[in-house]
Each structure stands twice: as structure tokens, then as C-alpha cells.
Amino acid sequence: MSTPVSSLRNLGPAFEASCTKAGIHSAEDLRELGADAAYAKLLANGTRPHFIGYYVLVMALQGRPWNDCKGAEKKALRVKFDAIKTASFDPETSEFERMMNLIGIREG
């Protein structure tokens, strides 16, 4: 049995749809990946990077309210977010190339 991603605190249907497109089909999948790997996977599959979305995910996996992230913790998460964004999101990739990657055609 799998639990919907949207069953996690802070995460709704739109986030769940993005996860599904990225191959993350359940809350269990999301927990197993962890916030950093899951967010990288979302970015690699076309989700536009947004810091709030990242820290909401981190808070969700900890069972905390999204607005509980403050101060030094938020600053540390910003550093991680920037690193994930740099490694996983290419704003120059065309929609066509992104679709080809989704169906398994990769640059050789």
C-alpha cells in the first residue's frame, strides 16, 4: 500500500502532480529519496526552482509547518537549495529536449 504525496503536511495536489511526473509516486518514495534528492529529481524533470518550494518539502518530510523554517536553519537550507539548483536545473534546456529526456533519449 502506498500513501499519497499530498497526505504529507504542507504538500498538496499540485506538488503531488509534479512528483508523479518526476517518477515519485508515493509519500514513501519521497521519504526514501529525502528532500535533496527528491528536489533534484523534480528540477531535472522540469519543475522550476523556487526556494520556498524546497524548504516546504524539507519541513513536510520532518512533519513540521512550512513556516517553521527560520534563522540559521533557513540560511543553511538556502545554501543547499542553491547547490541543488546549480547541479540539477538547466534553464537553457528546451522543452523539446526535456521531453526527450523524459522518454529516455539522452545526449550521448
pLDDT score for 55: 95
Phi, psi of 76 (to 5 degrees): -65, -40
38 vs 98, higher pLDDT: 38
Cα separation, 31 vs 19, in Å, equals 12
Q: Name the pTM for this structure.
A: 0.81
Q: Which domains does the chain have, with CATH numbers?
A: 5-102 (1.10.150.20)
Residue partners of 39: CB distance under 8 A and separation at least 6: 53, 54, 57, 81, 84, 88
Q: What is the pLDDT of residue 88?
A: 84
Over the stretch 4-15, which tens digit does the pLDDT of each residue have?
999 999 999 999
Could you give the CA distance from residue 29 to residue 74 in angstroms, rounded to a whole number?
25
Mean pLDDT of 66-76: 94
pLDDT tens digits, 20-70: 999 999 999 999 999 999 999 999 888 989 999 999 999 999 999 999 999
